[in-house]
């Protein structure tokens, strides 16, 4: 089983990150709601062990009435359940050259879970955010070192984003208490943004009068053309469609073999900027495209199913799929045009080579 | 974030296998029963989508009374629940040099779930295995190509192993229906063997009068000293202890920083040959060892907790842990002595470098 390998090489650090941070199996696109254990994970540090009986969420900073909420307090508030297509901002990074060294995602850093929790807005209203507050800062119980700096994982949102009705403090996933690896006992879910905004193992919420300049905001999650570029913040999910790779795989190479005949190619598509309005499929490596049939999403923040009949004749093919949203945003055909220092937002069209015979 | 990397390099195939086949987060050793989504996965091909209403298990071959069992038939039989320490036979492979190319496990390919199902033995008795049967063959619904051969995933057990009372047909994991990725709706669980024996998405059980010579038995899962060595079959789990890496991690390198003072180092240990009777801990790279305190396992096939007080003083350390079972089997200090063609059973002692300061 030793022997030559094809293509690019990856570092030991990337492999260890991959082993801790699984992607969704792409055949998981068949499920409207991703089963627990198939949803992608990006855990920056270690999974904290939190006793729910001792758990307390502090809401403070530039507010009139600081709050301390137990898990029971949070669960006693009005509850909503919401399917959300979540995606890591680094999804697609492995397609870049040179490749930024971090979690080596290809396209699998996605999932659509059903989150249950209470809206964040009314909690902020109860705390009474003061007029001089510009951001709401969310800190997790997960602590470690990144870019040489020890810190709790922390991310902020502009006040108006934190007050959007879809921002949720979630304590359940697919009807079960949050699994430890998804933020037990309480996490933030910011449906339209990439996953880094949805802080897990939530410890505190702080209204601040200055923009947050911590590691995960000022050093990471920026679109930077070079190290010297101050960059712009990574926020909403760019449009992205993925297909279930048809046929059967080779164990080692994951190359696909398809039997000749009609094939129903199917998948899901999403965007954080607006509803997906068009999905196109190509069976000839992008020379020609046809419109896929679209299904209805389970909710405004869920992904949308699509499908396309393909008459597979013997030969070699490269299948592709491309989503366009209501704002006109679509996916690039080549990864290079998305290149940035951290490898964020690489929503290049998926390519699935298949052999029909 | 681009830049030089340390140590060995991995192929694109290994990274893609890692992204689909997560290991357990080592901090998951804190839980006596591994939460769903933290248990390791090794999925040879794709996760099949199976409608439980149509599901049927066929029991045939060298039996007097072939059976066809629906999922309801299986669930109506006597049920047992059993915590089982499961480990991939390829765990530790990444420590070998040269490294066999497959899933690049370091030590994380483990988990201890609570499986609920019905014992296999009485089903085989009801089918009436004939005297000339030598093996029981288990086929899964997962199909793909490995070593150039298209096949359903299939593995056999000698008849006497299949009749052992702990062999289970499981339909629940941690009290929930099997998740798709763990074999929904029904899988085999062979508690003392490495995970390859516990066939998922079980399609059929066949008593055979000849030993099975399929890919996953005759080409894979053999201890072979070279390609020409016919090898010996991989069967039971070798003894293995793991620790929760203490302190906090660096995001990219996963290197650990520990504060000076008393540290409770803890973990779990298991063996498929007999109960773990001793766990030793070393804080000085294996120069000196002390006995860890052992907890009681949740059951005869579960892992066993261990812990050790370590007084961490400023400096650089390499922590190690080693298990010994009731048969006297223990773990090697160096990976090289375990080298084999497929990288199986590499139960070298875990090494955790930490910086105290």
pLDDT of residue B267: 98
* Omega within 30 of 0 (cis) for the link into A278: no
pLDDT of residue B153 exceeding 80, the answer is: yes
For residue B202, which of B61, B84, B70 has the smallest C-alpha distance? B70
DSSP A66: -
- Judge: B252–A21 Cβ closer than 8 Å, yes or no: no
Adjacent-strand bridge partners of A207: A61, A136
| CB-CB contact of B223 with B235 (8 Å) | no
How far apart CA A252 and CA A17 sit, in angstroms, is 20
Minimal CA separation from B216 to chain A, in Å: 11
Residue B331 located in a structural domain: yes
pLDDT of residue B26 exceeding 50, the answer is: yes
DSSP A127: H
Q: What average pLDDT does range B262-275 have in this prediction?
A: 98
> Cα–Cα distances in Å, from B225 out to A127, B42, B232?
67, 24, 10
- Judge: B3–A250 Cβ closer than 8 Å, yes or no: no
Domain boundary residue, one of B227, B257, B282: B227
DSSP B170: E
SS3 A337: helix
| CB-CB contact of A154 with A212 (8 Å) | yes
Residue to test with chain B: of A11, A88, A142, most B Cβ within 10 A: A11
Residues of chain A with Cβ-Cβ distance to B33 below 8 Å are none
pLDDT of residue A7: 59
| CB-CB contact of A50 with A201 (8 Å) | yes
| CB-CB contact of A71 with A203 (8 Å) | no
* CATH code, domain carrying A66: 3.90.420.10
- Judge: A251–B145 Cβ closer than 8 Å, yes or no: yes
ipTM comes to 0.95
How many C-beta atoms lie closer than 10 Å to residue B235's C-beta?
21
pLDDT of residue B8: 78
Task: Write out residues 77-96 of B within 8 Å (CB-CB) of A.
Answer: 94
- Judge: A2–B101 Cβ closer than 8 Å, yes or no: yes
Q: Is A181 on the interface with B (CB under 8 A)?
A: yes
Query: Tens digits of per-residue pLDDT, A25-72?
Result: 999 999 999 999 999 999 999 999 999 999 999 999 999 999 999 999
Same domain, B193 and B338: no
Same domain, A189 and A291: no
Q: What average pLDDT does range B335-354 have in this prediction?
A: 97
Same domain, B210 and B293: no
**Tokens read off for B351:** 């090494």
Q: Is B46 on the interface with A (CB under 8 A)?
A: yes
How far apart CA A172 and CA B188 sit, in angstroms, is 30
- Cα Rg, chain A, nearest whole Å: 21
pLDDT of residue B4 exceeding 50, the answer is: no
Q: What pTM was computed for the model?
A: 0.96
Of A3, A101, A254, nearest to B101 by CB-CB distance is: A3
pLDDT of residue B2: 39
- Judge: A41–B28 Cβ closer than 8 Å, yes or no: no
- Judge: A22–B25 Cβ closer than 8 Å, yes or no: no
Same domain, A197 and A269: no
pLDDT confidence tier of residue B7, bands split at 50, 70 and 90: low
> Cα–Cα distances in Å, from B331 out to B106, B269, B286?
15, 11, 12
Q: What average pLDDT does range B307-322 have in this prediction?
A: 98
Helices (H), chain B: 12-20, 71-76, 120-127, 159-162
Domain boundary residue, one of A200, A233, A266: A233
Minimal CA separation from B5 to chain A, in Å: 6
pLDDT of residue A2: 39
Query: Tens digits of per-residue pLDDT, B190-202?
Result: 999 999 999 999 9
Same domain, B53 and B155: yes
For residue B245, which of B264, B269, B260, B261 has the smallest C-alpha distance? B264
pLDDT of residue A356: 98
* CATH code, domain carrying B291: 2.60.40.650
Residue B216 located in a structural domain: yes
Same domain, B222 and B249: no
pLDDT of residue B5 exceeding 70, the answer is: no
Same domain, A226 and A273: no
Tell me the DSSP string of B230-294: --EE--BPPPEEEEPPPSEEBTTT--EEE-SEEEEEEEEEE-SSS-EEEEEEESBTTSS-EEPEE
Residues of chain B with Cβ-Cβ distance to A180 below 8 Å are 28, 31, 35, 38
How far apart CA B89 and CA B70 sit, in angstroms, is 31
CA angle A243, A257, A306 (to 5 degrees): 20
pLDDT of residue A9: 92
Of B19, B150, B342, nearest to A22 by CB-CB distance is: B19
Residue A196 located in a structural domain: yes
Residue B196 located in a structural domain: yes
Widest Cα–Cα separation across chain A: 69
Q: Which residues of chain A have pLDDT under 70?
A: 1-7
Question: Going by DSSP bridges, is the β-strand pair A261-270/A240-243 parallel, antiparallel, or unpaired?
Answer: antiparallel
pLDDT of residue A8: 78
pLDDT of residue A1: 38
Query: Tens digits of per-residue pLDDT, B88-103?
Result: 999 999 999 999 999 9
pLDDT of residue B322 exceeding 80, the answer is: yes
Same domain, B48 and B126: yes
Residue A6 located in a structural domain: no
Task: Write out residues 184-243 of A within 8 Å (CB-CB) of B.
Answer: none
How far apart CA A53 and CA B232 sit, in angstroms, is 51
Q: Which domain does B289 fall in, by range?
A: 240-356
Helices B12-20 and A12-20: crossing angle in degrees, nearest 10, is: 20
Q: Is A252 on the interface with B (CB under 8 A)?
A: yes
Q: Which residue has the tokens 């990574």?
A: A234
Query: Tens digits of per-residue pLDDT, B103-112?
Result: 999 999 999 9
| CB-CB contact of A105 with A194 (8 Å) | no
Same domain, A244 and A228: no
- Judge: A253–B143 Cβ closer than 8 Å, yes or no: no
Query: Tens digits of per-residue pLDDT, B27-60?
Result: 999 999 999 999 999 999 999 999 999 999 999 9
**Tokens read off for A217:** 């905001």
For residue B195, which of B207, B185, B187, B203 has the smallest C-alpha distance? B187
- Cα Rg, chain B, nearest whole Å: 21
Residue A1 located in a structural domain: no
Residue B122 located in a structural domain: yes
Domain count, chain A: 2
Residue B234 located in a structural domain: no
Same domain, B132 and B258: no
Q: Which helix (H) or strand (E) holds A12?
A: helix A12-20
For residue A207, which of A163, A171, A148, A252 has the smallest C-alpha distance? A163
| CB-CB contact of B281 with B146 (8 Å) | no
Beta-carbon contacts of residue B76 (< 8 Å; ≥ 6 apart): none
Residue to test with chain B: of A7, A21, A37, most B Cβ within 10 A: A37
Same domain, A214 and A313: no
Minimal CA separation from A339 to chain B, in Å: 12
Domain boundary residue, one of A204, A233, A262: A233
| CB-CB contact of B23 with B94 (8 Å) | no
Same domain, B109 and B45: yes
How far apart CA A307 and CA B48 sit, in angstroms, is 19
- Judge: A10–B11 Cβ closer than 8 Å, yes or no: yes
Residues of chain B with Cβ-Cβ distance to A45 below 8 Å are 248-249, 251
Q: Is A250 on the interface with B (CB under 8 A)?
A: yes
């Amino acid at each position: 089983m030793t022997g030559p390998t094809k293509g690019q090489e990856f570092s030991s650090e990337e492999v260890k990150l991959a082993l801790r941070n699984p992607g969704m199996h792409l055949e998981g696109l068949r499920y409207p709601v991703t089963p627990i254990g198939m949803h992608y994970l990006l855990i920056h540090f270690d999974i904290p062990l939190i006793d729910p009986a001792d758990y307390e969420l502090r809401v403070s900073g530039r507010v009139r009435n600081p709050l301390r909420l137990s898990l029971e307090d949070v669960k006693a508030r009005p509850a909503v359940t919401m399917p959300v297509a979540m995606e890591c901002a680094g999804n697609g990074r492995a397609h870049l050259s040179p490749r930024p060294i971090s979690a080596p995602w290809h396209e699998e850093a996605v999932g659509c879970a059903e989150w249950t929790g209470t809206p964040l807005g009314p909690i902020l209203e109860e705390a009474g955010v003061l007029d001089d507050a510009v951001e709401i800062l969310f800190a997790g119980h997960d602590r470690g070192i990144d870019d040489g700096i020890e810190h709790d994982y922390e991310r902020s949102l502009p006040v108006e984003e934190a007050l959007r009705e879809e921002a949720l403090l979630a304590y359940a996933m697919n009807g079960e208490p949050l699994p430890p690896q998804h933020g037990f006992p309480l996490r933030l879910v910011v449906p339209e943004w990439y996953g880094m905004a949805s802080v897990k193992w939530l410890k505190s919420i702080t209204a601040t009068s200055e923009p947050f300049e911590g590691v995960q905001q000022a050093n990471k999650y920026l679109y930077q053309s070079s190290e010297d570029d101050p960059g712009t913040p990574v926020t909403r999910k760019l449009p992205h469609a993925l297909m279930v790779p048809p046929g059967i795989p080779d164990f080692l190479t994951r190359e696909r073999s398809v039997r000749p005949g009609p094939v129903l190619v199917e998948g899901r598509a999403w965007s954080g900027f607006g509803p997906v309005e068009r999905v196109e499929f190509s069976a000839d490596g992008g020379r020609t495209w046809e419109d896929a049939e679209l299904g209805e999403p389970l909710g405004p923040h869920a992904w949308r199913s699509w499908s396309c009949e393909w008459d597979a004749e013997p030969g070699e093919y490269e299948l592709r799929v491309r989503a366009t949203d209501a704002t006109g945003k679509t996916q690039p055909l080549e990864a290079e045009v998305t290149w940035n220092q951290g490898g964020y937002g690489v929503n290049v069209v998926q390519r699935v080579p298949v052999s029909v015979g």
